[in-house]
Amino acid sequence: MNPRVAIAVAAVAGLSAAGCSANASDTPAGKVIPAADRGGAVSAQGTGLDDKPLDLADHRGEIVVVNFWGSWCEPCRTEAPVLEAAAKKYTGVRFLGVDSKDTKDGGRAFLRTFKLSYPSFFDPEAKIAAAFKTVNPNSLPATLILDRQGRVAVNLPGQLSAARIEPVLDQMVAEK
């Protein structure tokens, strides 16, 4: 390989690995961010796929799981039953979806197909994702767990399984 190409590839790989985070800590994805290292509360308002207004601020005081998905995304389709099962299991936790870069008809069909009981923002232009600053709307699925103050406490990129989400939800529910 040409040395200049090798250097360029290494630089791009290094930048990609650096990523961005919601806080100044080095907490890896999937781990609960220490409360002292969490950023400020996230503010996001929009309209749901049911055409009703949604506002994250309405859920302060609750743990909130925010799942970014698209009806066209196969891993999103695979994890949808996992999230619905968790939403039923964790009665004290609020679940919200964010249908990104999608059509309203596609999103509504997804909700019907997977019988999701929780609401989803309709976010065709990824404006809700931009409010979080940690979600790449081109890399779905992605899930964030917000603490009771509305701060990002856990970043779970990629497809979820019960084994990935339940331990962090247990830890968040136990947090006072």
- Sorted by where each begins, the domain ranges of the chain are 23-174
pLDDT for 21 equals 32
Q: How far apart are CA 140 and CA 107, in angstroms?
A: 14
| CATH class (in words) of the domain with range 23-174 | alpha beta
pLDDT for 62 equals 97
pLDDT for 114 equals 97
pLDDT for 13 equals 33
Q: How far apart are CA 59 and CA 132, in angstroms?
A: 16
pLDDT for 132 equals 86
Structure tokens at 77: 């389709």
pLDDT for 4 equals 40
The per-residue pLDDT string of the chain (176 residues; one tens digit each, 9 = 90 and over) reads 444 433 333 333 332 333 333 333 345 788 999 999 999 999 999 999 999 999 999 999 999 999 999 999 999 999 999 999 999 999 889 999 999 999 999 999 999 999 999 999 999 998 998 888 876 667 899 999 999 999 999 999 999 999 999 999 999 999 98
Identify which of 42, 162, 147, 60 has the alpha carbon closest to the alpha carbon of residue 98: 42
